[in-house]
Amino acid sequence: MTGAEFVRKREIIEQRRAAGDFEIDKFVPGEVVENEAGRFYLVRHAFPLDARHGGVEIGSVLESIPEHIALTACDTDLEEFNPGTACFIDTETSGLAGGTGTVAFLIGVGYFDGGAFRLEQAFMRDYDEEEAMLQYLNGIFARCQTVVSFNGKSFDVPLLRTRYISNRLPFRLDAAMHFDLIHAVRRIWKLRLKECSLNNVERAILGLERRGDVPSAEIPQIWFDYLRSRDAQPLKRVFYHHRMDVMSLVALTAFLSQRMDVPCGEGFEHAEDRLSLVRLHFRRKRYEDAVAHAHKLLEAETDDVVRHQCLELLAYACKRMQNWPRMAETWEQMVREFPSEILGRLELAKFYEHRMRNLPAAQKTCEEAIQYLETRAALEVADEFESLQIRAFQNRVDRLRRKLSKGALNHNDA
């Protein structure tokens, strides 16, 4: 390209820019909203209740059972969860680290109203539009009894609070409950998925593949480029990304409650997910539910790793319930299926000694454990922990022998 051609191209671009060809409304239809604090750009969407996102009907979230939400969130306050008065919130920001210098230039709020799911994407075209945008959103936040987000407790809500304080505006979300899906997702699906980003969860759980998306890490720079060039075309992908994020909050909430509503964890197809559900019930001290879910999982599951962890959770749940016979039965099953299991042998030794008062059985269990561990040591496959366990079991055997000897002496004296 010659110098003259370059100059002519720049002139054409400037003429198009002056004519408004690169303005945001040319790529993302919306409207300019004005209030006493100024102006900002707003994009509105309305979705019918039967609209689908990743195979999930958006309106089905209204049938979510609050107890399911509270359980997966480990938050009893959410037993009052009502999706009809919730706000599904996501932000796009000028940086991913947070801090007072970070702004939320695109804020999405989804809510149910008038028989539809409404999504409003508030966008600041420059820094001076922030106050007007925040003031407008406060009108929506005032009706919000619960915030639903993805990592919003750690990022979105603290950032918004900072921006409202900086603009000397009240922050209406401080009084709302908060259902942060990232924690629920990790509790149920992390064991299987390992990586629980929203995009990965969408693909694996909702069966959703995005088209025309942009990576989250690139979004701040796209906005900075827009501030410099005023070319809004790249922002089209940002608005799409943002809209999909909010819609996925709705779909995941609905899907999670639907799967939780099936008895004994059978709403989840994968054994790892069902094992995570057993662990969740155990963590929440819902031991009867943990036992029921564990028994159902063990009926058909053959994977050794899943069975081992499930048996351990089952045994400890029975212990918390003080169901000693079932606890012992579970540890015995563990030792049969996994002869190398040391924990099971130790728990059985404790059971025989302290619950059954069967000292010979406790001694025998310890001696079998020692024999197994010494065999591994002789084969040079034992680790340091197992070497320590030999001494621990031997100390227990010595103590049991003293008890047995003392008991025998007392019997002879009698």
Distance between terminal CA atoms of the chain? 113
67 part of a folded domain:
yes
Judgement on whether residues 161 and 301 belong to the same structural domain of the protein: no
Domain tally, the chain: 3
The whole-angstrom separation of Cα 184 and Cα 280 is 10
Whether 232 and 271 map to the same domain: the answer is no
403: three-class secondary structure by DSSP: helix
Last residue of a domain, one of 334, 367, 396: 334
Q: Which two tokens stand for residue 310?
A: 């499930």
CA distance 363 to 374: 16
**Residues 311 and 352 both lie in one domain:** no
Cβ atoms within 10 A of the Cβ of 143, count?
13
Burial of 347 (0-12, 13-18, 19+ CB in 10 A): buried
Last residue of a domain, one of 282, 314, 334: 334
> pTM for this structure?
0.88
Looking only at the bridges linking them, the beta strands covering 104-113 and 31-35 are unpaired
Amino acid at 37: A
pLDDT, residue 164, reads: 96
Verify that 91 and 136 share a domain, yes or no. yes
- Pair 75, 131 in one domain: yes
Two tokens, residue 67: 């107890």
* Domain CATH for 41: 3.30.420.10
User: Over the stretch 256-269, which tens digit does the pLDDT of each residue have?
Assistant: 999 999 999 999 99
Residue 9 has pLDDT above 60, yes or no: no
Residue 87: inside a domain, yes or no? yes
Asked if 195 and 165 sit in the same domain, the reply is yes
The CA–CA distances, whole Å, from 211 to 30, 106, 216, 238, 295 equal 21, 20, 14, 12, 42
| Residue 154 sits in the same domain as residue 217 | yes
Which pair of tokens denotes residue 401?
Answer: 């022998």
Report CA Rg, the chain. Answer: 30
Instruction: Answer whether residue 14 is part of any domain.
Output: no
Does 146 share its domain with 48?
A: yes
- Full DSSP string of 5-46: HHHHHHHHHHHHHHTTTTSGGGTS--EEEEETTEEEEEEEEE
CATH number, domain with residue 271: 1.25.40
Mean pLDDT, residues 95-119:
89
Q: Write the DSSP symbol of residue 323.
A: -
pLDDT tens digits for range 110-168: 999 989 999 999 999 999 999 999 999 999 999 899 999 999 999 999 999 999 999 99
pLDDT band of residue 411 (cuts 50, 70, 90) is: very low
Domain with 355 in it: 339-414
**Long-range CB contacts (< 8 A, 24+ apart) of 310-318?**
310/275, 310/278, 311/337, 312/343, 313/275, 313/278, 313/279, 313/282, 314/278, 314/290, 315/344, 315/347, 316/282, 317/282, 317/287, 317/290, 317/291, 318/287, 318/291
The per-residue pLDDT for 39 is 97
Total residue count of the chain as it appears in this document: 414
Domain assignment present for residue 301? The answer is: yes
